[in-house]
Amino acid sequence: MLMAVTPQTNATMEEIAQVIREGSSFVLCGHVGPDADCIGSQLSLWHALKALGKQATCVLVKDVPLPAGLSFMPGAEEMIPAERYQGTPDVFLGIDVPVRGRIGEAACSILDGAATSITIDHHSSNERMCDYAYIDPDSASASILVWEVVKLLCENPPVESAYCAYAGLVGDTGGFRYQNSDAVAFRAASELVTYDFDPASVASHLYQSRTLASVKLAAPAIEHMVINAEGTYALSWVTIEDLQAVEAQESDTEPLIDVLRSLAGIRVACMMREKEDEVRVSLRAKDDTDVSVLARELGGGGHCAAAGLTLHLPIDGAIALMLEKLDALVKTGPED
């Protein structure tokens, strides 16, 4: 681990905890297209704020229901779309998100109205969105950073805070399978599971609760799969028609990239989803190949091993472009 926090970081955990202690009303917001870490890290802190008697609301960037697979987290039912939030909080908390571009207009105006603002995150970026920022790209999840703040705030953190932080960590490490599963992540996990909850229930909710439509979508994804001659990357896609054929929701496509990633020899997996007038692209690396560089080149972002982007192209054009970019990416080889 060479670098811990980013240059955008301008506050310690303790300074952030102090700003939180002084506030009385809070809005917590994650990124668009929330995942388990995004929801888990917000809710972990939300439960702590509630335990401290603070007024706190978790807002969703878009007015769409939470993916069904994430609603198991305690407090998820109380999250509201940002545009329905009324008022101006003392503190805006951007959690698992470092840039305004990923929180949407409604949350941006809450942020602008807040007396002060804090980012706790593990995505690197060149922008500082909030007054106070703690951003550690080496952290496996945002939730274990949030957990450190929770422990500074609460002498006895509520079990829900630990549960949600653990769920975020399991989500962002793929159940401790990805390269970000480092000693810090395992230490946090071993501490979190001392709280009174069943760790296996998190795995069951995240990995063994797929919809039938989602499992059926693996068929077209496998059918479309393209693997390069060297067998080092796999690309596939599902079309709007594929989704309609099995009555799938957008969130049903999430686990498909794991089908590609599971192939032996594959270094990079690329899963694409056709939408109304764009194509959503997910990239994953199994070695040190930095897929976030490619994502950023095409207007997206993310981490070294997990990144995403949106192409405003028809699906055929998007496939051709990604094949060309992936050829170039795997030619450069992983960093040593």
Binding interface with Mn ion (CB under 5 A): 37, 96, 142, 172
Smallest separation, CB 306 to Mn ion (Å): 9
* Residue partners of 164: CB distance under 8 A and separation at least 6: 39, 40, 41, 43, 44, 47, 73, 74, 75, 143
DSSP for 193-208 reads: TTSSS-HHHHHHHHHS
Residue least distant from Mn ion (Cβ): 37
Helix %, strand %, coil % of the chain (to 5): 45, 15, 40
Nearer to Mn ion, 135 or 326 (CB): 135
Nearer to Mn ion, 135 or 268 (CB): 135
Nearer to Mn ion, 49 or 169 (CB): 169
Smallest separation, CB 209 to Mn ion (Å): 20
Smallest separation, CB 97 to Mn ion (Å): 9
* Residue partners of 288: CB distance under 8 A and separation at least 6: 179, 304, 334, 335, 336
Of 202, 201, 245, give the one whose Cα is nearest residue 221: 245
Nearer to Mn ion, 42 or 214 (CB): 42
Q: Using the structure block, give the residue that is written with the tokens 């920022």.
A: 133
Structure tokens at 288: 């040190």
Nearest-angstrom CA–CA distance, 105 and 85: 12
Nearer to Mn ion, 96 or 242 (CB): 96
Smallest separation, CB 239 to Mn ion (Å): 28
Smallest separation, CB 122 to Mn ion (Å): 6
